[in-house]
Amino acid sequence: MTIQNIKLTSLAHGGGCGCKLAPSVLQQLLAGQAAAGPYARLLVGVETGDDAAVWQLDDHNCIIATTDFFMPIVDDPHDFGRIAATNAISDIYAMGGQPIMALAILGIPLDKLPLETVRAILAGGASVCAAAGIPVAGGHSIDTPEPIYGLAVIGTCRKENLRRNADAKPGDAIILTKPLGVGIYSAALKKGMLSGDGYAEMVATTTLLNRIGTKLAEDETVHAITDVTGFGLTGHALELARGSNLSIDIHADNLPLLRDAVSFAQQGIVTGASGRNWASFGDSVELPAGFANWQRDLLTDPQTSGGLLVSCAAERADAILQTITQAGCPAARKIGHAQAGPPMIRVVA
């Protein structure tokens, strides 16, 4: 294989948000890392594992800062750039904010990739930033053993529109805005088992901007928002449960899924991150009797550029779901509800 036609995914030991450190490892690393000092304007830091940091500028306005980058989940460099940029910008939308600027993060094995491939990655990311209405205002690049691309993104929001993952309320309905199965599809792609239609389906969902988060945050009956990425649905739902000090029931039959996700999962085509996720937080997830391993794998499947997990007043759930679907998220579904109880996830068949 020459430098001109080498597959991006062959240069990386993992891909997309499946590259994230396991939740258990991350918890150990961040233990005791809460910001010290007189930082009264730091409204969101590392305490709740939220999607971005938030600093209060004045009585009404906040600035949101985040960064996200990973190794290739696909071989097409332009698609890789688009997916990575969409994923990074999502953190701003998940906080209820509006992105205003991005900086590129680039690591490239210069002896393995031609410059035109690198330019295509950057162009893909820039195209998504243009669609989001923000410039790529700079960045940083280094020579690395594996290809890495992502963004640091800055956004703003009104203080009253800030949405954390720690403010869900008992009785809330839980809505998921995108289908699950991206990690499973990426595993199928590496095995040469993903069809052209399946690839198009994966790229379509991973490049769909979560801009609906900005609009949802203007609704006071939307209490909490987070996005579903590398820790899978149950991992990020558990962060919401722990941050809000409540239990969340997930109705397995209501989950939106990519078309072939079940078939692949039943064949054992999953990522290593799925098992690492379960090992990290499985003791806080209650599964129904007879729940198959492949069903569990759907719940722990790492989502690259996944959907938003929205906690809202139950009486407003249907109207909010309609708003989400009309905004271009046809797979959105009500998947469960929150209730008083110990922080955990209960899966209902």
Structure tokens belonging to residue 238 = 């558990």
Mean pLDDT of the chain: 92
Query: Tens digits of per-residue pLDDT, 242-287?
Result: 999 999 999 999 999 999 999 999 999 999 999 999 999 999 999 9
Residue 216 pLDDT grade (very low, low, confident, very high; cuts 50, 70, 90): very high
Instruction: Let me know: does 194 contact 185? Beta carbons within 8 Å.
Output: yes
For residue 255, what is the enclosing H or E element? none
Structure tokens belonging to residue 196 = 């052209």
Chain centre distance of CA 168: 18
Q: Where are the domains of the chain?
A: 8-161, 173-348
Tell me what percent of the residues of the chain surpass a pLDDT of 70.
Answer: 91
pTM above 0.75, yes or no: yes
Q: What is the pLDDT of residue 308?
A: 98
Query: Tens digits of per-residue pLDDT, 107-142?
Result: 999 889 999 999 999 999 999 999 999 999 999 999
Query: Tens digits of per-residue pLDDT, 280-291?
Result: 999 999 999 999
Instruction: Let me know: does 282 contact 232? Beta carbons within 8 Å.
Output: no
Q: What is the pLDDT of residue 5?
A: 64
Report phi then psi at 47, rounded to 5: -60, -40
| Active-site option among 17, 129, 312, 329 | 17
CA distances from 82 to 5, 125, 157, 200, 219 (A): 20, 5, 24, 13, 29
- The span from the CA of 329 to the CA of 323, in Å, is 9
Q: What is the pLDDT of residue 35?
A: 55
Q: What is the pLDDT of residue 48?
A: 78
Residue 304 has pLDDT above 60, yes or no: yes
Beta strand segments in the chain, E: 42-44, 53-56, 61-70, 98-108, 136-143, 148-158, 173-176, 222-227, 247-251, 285-286, 308-312, 333-339, 344-348
What CATH class does 8-161 carry? alpha beta
Q: What CATH number has the domain spanning 173-348?
A: 3.90.650.10
For residue 328, what is the enclosing H or E element? none
Structure tokens belonging to residue 49 = 């594992």
- The span from the CA of 72 to the CA of 207, in Å, is 14
Question: Which of 24-28, 47-51, 304-308, 324-328 comes out lowest in average pLDDT?
Answer: 24-28
Residue 2 pLDDT grade (very low, low, confident, very high; cuts 50, 70, 90): very low
Catalytic residue list contains 129: no
Q: What is the pLDDT of residue 227?
A: 95
Q: Which amino acid is at 139?
A: G
- The span from the CA of 36 to the CA of 308, in Å, is 30
Question: What value does the mean pLDDT take over residues 191-204?
Answer: 97
